[in-house]
Amino acid sequence: MLPLSLSSGDVTADRRADYARMLGEGGDFAAAAELMEQALELAPGWAAGWFQLGEYRLKAGAADKAVEAYRAVRALDPEDMFAASLKLALIGAEAVPEQPPSRYVEALFDDYADRFETSLVEKLHYQVPQRLAALIARVAGQGHLFQTAIDLGCGTGLMGVELAGKVGLLEGYDLSGGMLAKAAEKQLYHHLGEADLSLDAAACGLFDGRETLRADLVTAADVLMYLGNLSGVFALTATLLKPGGHFAFSVEKQAESQGFTLAPSLRYQHSFAYVTATLAQSGFTLLESEEATIRMDGGKPVLGMLFIAAKSR
């Protein structure tokens, strides 16, 4: 979740918020909420403050009052940078949205870019790019050279490291400018660009003068858990791929047999049945899949699924 790093513009309000944070860190969430209420009396238009009030109220067991705070956040920030809509869905106050707010995802990863690889690889034991690369090699054959690969949600370029030397031309796309800057430092990609996978082909940024049907491999490593409904991104991928081209990606596994759900982490989890049905509806043939621990979270393994499919039409 985004940190409370945005000032209210009022020194006294900021000071009370600092005291509230210290109380929250000590586990006294009710007192922290009370101090945040006082801060917001001085700065009623402070969206970040209202969000933090919602967090304290929720942890203090006052879910109804948390709902009020999260709805205030959304009213003040229509782009929903703090993902108040996702918090409301987790509480059960509103339906789970099919996609997260794009501004939230962008801000989350812009804030995370400088420490992304240290946190994810060294601390959370993230291995999805290596596992996906192994899956691609197993299906396509060791030494297979792809003409054009497109890395969706490329982040800092961890998947690009695995694809280097195995593709003729490598494109990378991400919603976060901070992540793209880190990927550019690796000098692996022939083209990098901003793209929003929650939008349709005309608006997403994947084309912008570039051809459709231009890739024979599309990857999405640890990306689709930031989307709920996958039909849109699968349709975009089909528009990128030549017939017979491969699509390799990961999801977090949902325990139930159907659909997708929103986890407390604010990431989406998908069922095997949902993914395979959506692939088929989007013109793909599933070639292989496997379950794997994709990272650690709070000291616990996060179970995911890796897939590779071929465009069949």
How high is the pLDDT of residue 2? 39
| Distance in angstroms (rounded) separating the CA atoms of residues 4 and 108 | 12
Identity of residue 67? V
| pTM of the predicted structure, to 2 decimals | 0.93
CB 278 within 8 A of CB 305: no
Whether 284 has a pLDDT exceeding 90, the answer reads: yes
Poorest-pLDDT segment among 58-67, 100-109, 123-132, 287-296: 123-132
* Tens digits of residue pLDDT in 44-59: 999 999 999 999 999 9
Which among 309, 293, 240, 288 is positioned nearest to 130, based on CA atoms? Answer: 293
Q: In Å, how far are 113, 163, 182, 226 from 116, measured between CA atoms? A: 5, 19, 10, 16
pLDDT at 115: 87
pLDDT at 125: 80
**In Å, how far from its chain's centre is CA 33?**
29
More confident residue, 215 or 8: 215
- C-alpha to C-alpha distance for 20 and 22, rounded to whole angstroms: 5
Position 5 confidence tier, pLDDT thresholds 50, 70, 90: low
What residue ranges define each of the domains in the chain, with the CATH number in brackets? 11-95 (1.25.40.10), 115-311 (3.40.50.150)
Could you list the beta-strand ranges (E) of the chain: 146-152, 167-174, 191-194, 215-220, 241-252, 260-262, 268-270, 284-297, 300-311
For residues 78-99, average pLDDT: 96
Percent of the chain with pLDDT over 70: 98
